[in-house]
Amino acid sequence: MEENSRGISPRRSKRRTVHKIAAANEPNLFDELPDDLVVSVLCKLSSSAASSSDFINALLTCKRFKRLGFHQLVLSNVGSKVLAVKAKNWSDSVHRFLIHCVNAGNVEACYTLGMIRFYSLQNRVSGMSLMAKAAVKSYAPALYSLAVIQFNGSGGSRTDKDLQAGVALCARAAFLGHVDALRELGHCFQDGYGIHQNITAGRRLLMQANTRELASLLKSLVKQQPNHHHHHRGLNYEQFNCISGSGCLSMSNEPASEGHPVNVFLKEWFELGLGEMGEGLRLCSHKGCGRPETRAHEFRRCSACGTVHYCSRGCQALDWKLRHKLECVPFERWLE
């Protein structure tokens, strides 16, 4: 039997051609799926993807995914992990993607872009407007961030502080279960800051914040426990103890709590020098915050040592628990 230049017999070549034609004539089942079903799958993906790269790689799989990936329903469901952009990766395309999500009504995107514009890009009006858009939809982190802005008068002068508005926003965020807002509101009641002093109510709120924080930590620890059927490992509850006066739980060997992705962005943005801070301006000393001062001496400082500065009482209590209590040296001991 004669063979062609590639060493394939004419009969075998003909048979392959027939198979290719048959395969080409077979219907593509994926193309026959209705758009609504594909959009539903992409909505689930956008809300549960572990990172932005996972979501983007999925959209690049085919033209149909790429087209339907920008459907309003898909963008409105994009989760915080997909929106968690690194400061070093910030670009116009990332900015546009966040705007698309905002226009689709994504509350998480409104808050994320609002914080970035207010603090990193120094577009105060647009930033506050986006955070307010998220706050109207009862998004607790946005309510708390607006409360911090009102307490400090951020973006303005000292006379722009509105303590009553800060307390009201903080109370709403606390009602929604935001731990930092509960702690901040508790300190406001204890100190009579922006509200009539009520030490009992303040302590009760601080206890609620501690309880929620402890429950969250225990839940994360339980998830880390391996599922052994024959060897049951219990949690060591002796590592938990309350520090009186701090208004915050102290947990030995406790890792720093993972903050909101946008706080990580802010911290990286200024530490990498991607954004300019005015002379004498500082970042909040709590490692998980990232908020910068918008004017000189905006943040409160530690009354004992005066070397650290915080945007809020909540950040001060957290940093005391995680770090500063081991480093704080009162003024009078500096010369010893």
pLDDT tens for 297-306 read 999 988 888 8
Dist. CA 301–CA 282, nearest whole Å: 11
Angstrom distance (rounded) from CA 293 to CA 50? 32
* Residue 332 scores a pLDDT above 60: no
Q: Is a pLDDT exceeding 80 seen at residue 97? A: yes
Kind of pairing between the strands at 248-251 and 240-243: antiparallel
Residue 250: the pLDDT is: 45
Classify residue 156 by its DSSP letter: S
Q: What is the pLDDT of residue 172?
A: 96
Percentage, residues of the chain above pLDDT 70: 79
Confidence of residue 27 (pLDDT cuts 50, 70, 90): low
Segment among 28-42, 77-91, 187-201 with least mean pLDDT: 28-42
Query: What pLDDT was estimated at residue 281?
Result: 92
Distance CA 60, CA 160 (A): 48
- Among residues 75, 92, 101, 117, the alpha carbon closest in space to that of 265 is found at 117
Question: Phi and psi (nearest 5°) for 98?
Answer: -65, -40
pLDDT per position as a tens digit, 219-247: 877 876 655 544 444 544 444 444 444 44
Query: In this model, does residue 24 exceed pLDDT 60?
Result: no
Average predicted confidence (pLDDT) for the chain? 84
The predicted pLDDT at position 321 comes to 85
Look-up of token digits 């603090």: 119
Alpha carbons 19 and 333: distance in angstroms, whole number:
87
Q: What is the pLDDT of residue 13?
A: 61
pLDDT at site 9: 59
The 10s digit of each residue's pLDDT in 239-279 is 444 444 444 544 434 444 457 899 999 999 999 989 888 88
pLDDT of residue 259: 74
**93 and 84 Cβ atoms separated by less than 8 Å:** no
Q: What is the pLDDT of residue 184?
A: 94
In angstroms, the CA 336 to CA 334 distance is: 6
